[in-house]
């Protein structure tokens, strides 16, 4: 079934550790996005990529980095995790930036 796959589903991580959240889509969508979801705040954009080889900063980019080496993959890296990065992370993709986005099932990350 076509869609977005995120891994891991959940993770508990010690503060200071490095962590990469994986996101793969098989819909050949040009645009991809990373959001974090926190209670009462909705989803906030961390980083985005309008096409392979390009990335941009969203609303809350500090402490996170991304890469877009190809169309399908868009990993999110926390270089040195901090407790405030405890959240549920969603990857999404769309045909183009003005089109509806398709979401993965999320990664629940807890930083202790």
Give the interface with other proteins as residue ranges (CB under 8 A).
4, 33, 35, 40-45, 48, 56, 58-59, 90, 92, 96-98, 100-106
Smallest gap, in angstroms, from Cβ of residue 36 to other proteins?
Answer: 11
Between 36 and 81, name the residue whose CB sits nearer to other proteins. 36
The DSSP bridge pattern shows strands 107-111 and 102-103 to be: unpaired
Smallest gap, in angstroms, from Cβ of residue 65 to other proteins?
Answer: 18
Q: How far apart are CA 33 and CA 76, in angstroms?
A: 10
Between 18 and 41, name the residue whose CB sits nearer to other proteins. 41
Smallest gap, in angstroms, from Cβ of residue 26 to other proteins?
Answer: 15
Smallest gap, in angstroms, from Cβ of residue 16 to other proteins?
Answer: 28
Q: What totals of helices (H) and strands (E) does the chain contain, helices first?
A: 0, 11
If DSSP states are collapsed to H, E and C, what string results for 16-38? CCCEEEEEEECCCCCEEEEEEEE
Q: How far apart are CA 58 and CA 52, in angstroms?
A: 17
């Amino acid at each position: 079934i076509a869609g977005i796959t995120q891994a891991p589903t959940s993770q508990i991580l010690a503060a200071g550790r490095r962590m990469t959240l994986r996101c793969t889509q098989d819909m050949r969508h040009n645009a991809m996005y990373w959001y974090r979801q926190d209670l009462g705040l909705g989803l906030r954009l961390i980083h985005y990529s309008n096409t392979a080889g390009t990335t941009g900063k969203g609303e809350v980019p500090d402490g996170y980095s991304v890469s877009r080496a190809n169309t399908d993959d868009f990993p999110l890296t926390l270089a040195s995790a901090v407790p405030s990065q405890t959240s549920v992370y969603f990857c999404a993709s769309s045909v183009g930036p003005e089109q509806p986005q398709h979401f993965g099932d999320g990664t629940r990350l807890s930083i202790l």
